[in-house]
Amino acid sequence: MSRFSTRTDFTRTLNPLAQALERHRASGLRLLDLTESNPTRVGLPTPDPAVLATEGAFTYEPDPLGLASARQALVADFAARGARVSEAHLVLSASTSEAYGWLFKLLCEPGDNVLVPAPCYPLFEHLARLEGVQTRSYPLPRAHGFGLDARVVGDAVNDRTRAVLVVNPGNPTGHFLHEGELAVLADVCASWRLPLICDEVFAPFAWDAEPGRVATVAGRPLPMLTFTLSGLSKSVGLPGLKLAWTHVGGPADLRDEALARLEWMADASLPVGTPVQKALPALLAHAPVFQAAVRERVRGNRQRLLAARRPGALWDVVPAEGGWSAVLRIPRAPGEEATCLALLDAGVLVQPGYFYDFGGGAFLVLSLLPQPEDFAAAVEVLARTLGP
């Protein structure tokens, strides 16, 4: 019998694409990496590191919810985006991933499930599994351009479902939640008495200003318990600083009970460092600089991608509204893996759609963050390889 838990028994064998990548790297041949989404490696602006050297950076006055000064800075940041929230309803964590772990512990018994979108970044299944929780997918319909169709969410609910998770805008699909969809989603959650977990890490990265998009669900009078998640890893492009936040909203009795339990969980490990909390006002002040640079990078690279597509090509760029990625629809034959392998042979790395649980067709996912010259060189190879 194994000495280890089944929930940590993750597959570690390399798939053919990962094996081919290892071989390519070992060969020393040039690789144009269109999977690069680490914001600290693509020449984007960072704040002056001196912002971390605040007075009091070495003091230790733990508050499980996070330092009041840091939570007040977040209240001002929400207000600047038109959302009125209270610092008493905010909980800091080291990352949104950690916050997910707390929320799954808060809401689920082992064996329960949470609803997650498909396609989506493959994070939630692993985080849930580590808490003994399962994920059940609800489809983001292709006909909807992979935007949310709140009516289909209810079809995925079963008697062990404990929460609905929404990513606004989707990663990698880049569609925002719209006001009408939120209204339907709120009805679905309220009728099944399910909390909503809304992941807004990519919300600052809308590509244009179309009206009717939900910028945040925080601070709204929603009928269900609502958790809104974001953090520095995307909003300021600094995942290494380890600071994220969860806003808790919804009916007051449920909200206060959830906050008391989250406070207790946070108190068990007090995971957020003092220097980053003290520096939060300065880091949030830098956010607009970083976000504008990302929007400019993404806009330019998306144009380069669209320009590389020759008329009549059998591949297409799937429409989207925001985020850091592009999704390409490609012919079913030879399919995702064979296409990724052919591109790797030609020196370009992209991700296959199956990595993100795309169904009903063949897709590639690429990051729009790489430096423009690398991106331009890569899409030239991409267009040549995909043909015609």
Q: Which residues bind ligand PLP (CB under 6 A)?
A: 95-97, 121, 123, 167, 171, 199, 201, 231, 233, 239, 244
Q: Between residues 146 and 315, which has the closer beta carbon with respect to ligand PLP? A: 146
Q: Between residues 98 and 336, which has the closer beta carbon with respect to ligand PLP? A: 98
In whole angstroms, the minimum distance from the beta carbon of 359 to ligand PLP comes to 19
Q: Between residues 126 and 151, which has the closer beta carbon with respect to ligand PLP? A: 126
In whole angstroms, the minimum distance from the beta carbon of 230 to ligand PLP comes to 8
- Residue 77, C-beta contacts closer than 8 angstroms, at least 6 positions apart: 284, 287
In whole angstroms, the minimum distance from the beta carbon of 366 to ligand PLP comes to 15
Q: Between residues 119 and 339, which has the closer beta carbon with respect to ligand PLP? A: 119
Q: Between residues 364 and 386, which has the closer beta carbon with respect to ligand PLP? A: 364
Copy the structure tokens of residue 57. 């950076």
In whole angstroms, the minimum distance from the beta carbon of 14 to ligand PLP comes to 21
- The three-state DSSP-derived secondary structure of the chain is CCCCCHHHCCCCCCCHHHHHHHHHHHHCCCCEECCCCCHHHCCCCCCCHHHHCCCCCCCCCCCCCCCHHHHHHHHHHHHHCCCCCCHHHEEEECCHHHHHHHHHHHHCCCCCEEEEEECCCCCHHHHHHHCCCEEEEEECCHHHCCCCCHHHHHHHCCCCEEEEEEECCCCCCCCCCEHHHHHHHHHHHHHHCCCEEEECCCCCCECCCCCCECCCCCCCCCCCCEEEEEEHHHHCCCHHHCCEEEEEECCHHHHHHHHHHHHHHHHHHCCCCHHHHHCHHHHHHHHHHHHHHHHHHHHHHHHHHHHHCCCCCCCEECCCCECCEEEEEECCCCCHHHHHHHHHHCCEECEEHHHHCCCCCEEEEEECCCCHHHHHHHHHHHHHHHCC
In whole angstroms, the minimum distance from the beta carbon of 171 to ligand PLP comes to 4
Q: Between residues 121 and 363, which has the closer beta carbon with respect to ligand PLP? A: 121
In whole angstroms, the minimum distance from the beta carbon of 34 to ligand PLP comes to 16
In whole angstroms, the minimum distance from the beta carbon of 33 to ligand PLP comes to 16
Q: Between residues 32 and 365, which has the closer beta carbon with respect to ligand PLP? A: 365
In whole angstroms, the minimum distance from the beta carbon of 276 to ligand PLP comes to 13
Q: Between residues 237 and 315, which has the closer beta carbon with respect to ligand PLP? A: 237
